[in-house]
């Protein structure tokens, strides 16, 4: 079997199929194998992070479960272009082992123990990048996109902190803004159709990045609305992206964002 004797098992499948896929493999995974999830997302229905799904399906102790996340574009990494990432695991020894195994001359992994922060950052960033793509797609400029990135990051920090992420983790996610311009280009194709209030199922044909961002915005919006500690957290961009995914036009969403009461930061 491919998994026999493996020190690490890398789970590189879409977030919404992770549970089904892992259920087929769990019996072949050794009791002390480290499980590394590359999936960024929140499971629809359960609202679980990927590490939680892995733990529930396999019964693995949380110290065996690691996640990899950061401003990483797979195509550029495959081309050998320099990139950095974060490997988070409650067991720092396991995190360091993974770090040493995947470090190369062009790929530099860092480690920390904040699994919650890394997963929330990874799950939320495509939602904000999708909003940037829509803005660019309807002809809005760098001022608008920079504002979305800045305020979107503030929302991610509020959400992650409410869920137990460590404050220092957000210094890592400030680098996420670097990956937003290429992500924005991938989302750009849906801008014109969004401005015409086209339904999301038509917009999804723009590509996988748009699909993941749209689906994720809905899941995060529902999840925040059902968890008591999140209900009072201000998240206008997340709400806006969720409404866009249900058919609202970009211009209407912008009107709602800018029409809110002004306040101090």
- Look up 263 and say whether it is catalytic: no
Rounded Cα distance between 8 and 229, Å, is 35
> Facing residues of 261 across strands?
none
- Smallest CA-to-CA distance from 217 within 235, 202, 229 is with 235
Q: Per DSSP, what are the bridge partners of residue 8?
A: 34
Active-site entry in 40, 125, 166, 263:
125
Which of helix, strand or coil describes residue 187? helix
Q: CA-based angle 173:226:64, to the nearest 5?
A: 50
CB atoms closer than 10 angstroms to residue 100? 10
Closest CA to 58 of 89, 93, 18: 18
The set of catalytic residues is 125
């Amino acid at each position: 079997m491919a998994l026999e004797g493996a020190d690490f098992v890398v789970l590189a499948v879409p977030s919404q199929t992770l549970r089904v896929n892992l259920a087929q493999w769990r019996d072949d995974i050794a009791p002390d194998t480290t499980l590394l999830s590359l999936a960024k997302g929140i499971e629809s229905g359960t609202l679980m992070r990927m590490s939680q799904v892995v733990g529930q399906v396999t019964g693995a102790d949380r110290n065996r479960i690691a996640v990899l996340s950061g401003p990483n574009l797979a195509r550029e990494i495959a081309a050998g272009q320099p990139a950095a990432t974060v490997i988070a695991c409650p067991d720092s020894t396991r995190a360091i082992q993974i770090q040493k195994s995947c470090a190369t001359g062009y790929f530099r992994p860092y480690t920390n123990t904040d699994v919650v922060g890394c997963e929330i950052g990874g799950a939320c960033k495509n939602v904000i990048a999708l909003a940037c793509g829509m803005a660019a797609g309807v002809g809005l400029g760098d001022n608008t996109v920079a504002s979305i990135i800045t305020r979107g990051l503030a929302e991610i920090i509020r959400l992650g902190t409410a869920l137990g992420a460590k404050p220092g983790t957000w210094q890592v996610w400030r680098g996420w803004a670097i990956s937003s311009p290429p992500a924005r280009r991938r989302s750009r194709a849906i801008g014109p159709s969004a401005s015409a209030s086209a339904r999301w199922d038509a917009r999804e044909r723009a590509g996988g990045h748009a699909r993941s961002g749209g689906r994720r915005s809905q899941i995060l919006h529902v999840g925040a609305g059902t968890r008591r500690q999140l209900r009072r957290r201000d998240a206008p961009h997340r709400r806006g992206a969720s409404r866009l995914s249900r058919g609202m036009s970009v211009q209407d969403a912008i009107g709602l964002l800018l029409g809110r009461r002004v306040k101090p930061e």
